[in-house]
Amino acid sequence: MTDTSFHTLPDGRRIACRFHAGKGPALVFLPGYMSDMAGGKAQAVFDRAVTQGRACLLLDYSGCGESGGLFADGTLSRWKEEVLALVSAHCPGQVILVGSSMGGWLMLLAGLELGDRLAGLVGIAAAPDFTDWGYEPGQKAELAAGRPIYEDNPYGPEPTPTHPAFWADGQANRLLGSQIALDCPVRLLQGQQDPDVPWQTALRLAEALRSADVQVHLIKDGDHRLSREQDIALLLRTIESLAG
């Protein structure tokens, strides 16, 4: 078991992470919205990496998990900065980014910054542009007016908040309307019974990516989390097929 450590950014943000040194390319797991590195998929990826002697990095975005800060201050741009800072600190060579839900949007944004260091992407119910397609017009109006909104949370007892700064930053970072200039291999896992991310989003993303090496795996009975035993087994096989 690798203990949690903390990386401090120049502005004082303390980002919790777990890193296992090993062969590359390093795996970097990016959790979803309001999730953290203690989740089942992140732990499964880390444990398999340790078993295989592969480098692997887990992290909690600021305001999430064990990291400092307020969730209300979180934005995609802020969290991307944290991802890139930790990748720079721990992973000097090539990396494969594995992004779950919102983490799938974040992996695209971070990947565009990594250039030749990006060896591959694996999206799990990747949700690029969800600030655009994931909200009703009335909710968008509230957010645009600077007021947070709260929605029922099927995954926990507390309602899920969306804060105006996150929404505005998401709208400024939309990707699906034009070509996404990434050329690495990309694998997208998507459940067709996902109530949060329409499965057609995976096809839209595949079409938008410049890479010719893009595969979409649709799981007909799969939900949003894709955390069943068979789903995690598929995830691990998919990562290993890219990592070599």
Active site amino acids: 101, 194, 224
Q: Rounded distance, CA 159 to CA 147, Å?
A: 15
Q: Rounded distance, CA 185 to CA 179, Å?
A: 16
CB 26 within 8 A of CB 95: yes
Q: State which amino acid sits at residue 114.
A: L
User: Which pair of structure tokens corresponds to residue 63?
Assistant: 């305001």
Cis amide prior to 137 (ω within 30 degrees) = no
CB 96 within 8 A of CB 41: no
Closest CA to 129 of 98, 68, 165, 173: 173
Q: Rounded distance, CA 235 to CA 244, Å?
A: 14
Per-position DSSP letters for 97-161, written without gaps between them = EEEETHHHHHHHHHHHHHGGGEEEEEEES--TTHHHHSS-HHHHHHHHTT--EEE--TTSSSPEE
* Rounded alpha-carbon distances, angstroms, from residue 31 to 83, 107, 139: 11, 10, 24
Phi, psi of 12 (to 5 degrees): 100, -5
